Amino acid sequence: MKFLIAGLGNIGDEYLNTRHNIGFLVLDELAKQLDAKFSSGRFASMAEAKHKGKTLLLIKPTTYMNLSGKAVNYWMQEEKISLLNLLVVTDDLALPFGTIRLRAKGNDGGHNGLKNIAEVLNSNQYARARFGIGNDFLKGKQVDYVLSDWTDEETRILPERINQTCELIKSFAAIGINFTMSNFNNK
């Protein structure tokens, strides 16, 4: 069984350690844990990993955040992966920093990457792991906030929360979304 795990972010060194790139950071760590290497692919950097007999296709779209759906749709079609086996990892302003929530479906919550994926797939019935980045910004400064680097305190806590998100992804593939939501959403 194959799963598509899409970590959202923006390409380019200037975005490397920004809040908006948490999807890339999580997938980089997951690839490291599962001994997988990213290579250039169509619309995304991709890596293939195995976990408990399941194949995880990890993608980091190279289309920029606002066109993430192009990469997700291409790899779903190319690898014949169903919507039920798609998991998108993304930042979320509505959650306090480090909070991780798994949802089976939902709206985009104002997130341009999720919005584009829903538009391209013509559905919002796909799983998403939302990583809280907080909302400590002045009115009108949302873009500056999501594209800024982590604070020193966040940087200290980040590795543990990224690891927790990796465990959530592995659980999603191994035991399914319902058990994974029960096990991880209250931590």
Element (H, E) at 103: strand 100-103
Which residues touch 80 (CB under 8 Å, ≥6 apart)?
A: 2
Which residues touch 16 (CB under 8 Å, ≥6 apart)?
A: none
> Is 111 assigned a catalytic role?
no
Name 132's bridge partners: 92
Looking at this protein, which amino acid is placed at residue 30?
L
Contact criterion met (CB below 8 Å) for 75 and 46: yes
Name 58's bridge partners: 5, 47
- For tokens 């060194």, name the residue: 13
Residue of 3, 7, 18, 20 marked active site: 20
Annotated catalytic sites, by residue?
20
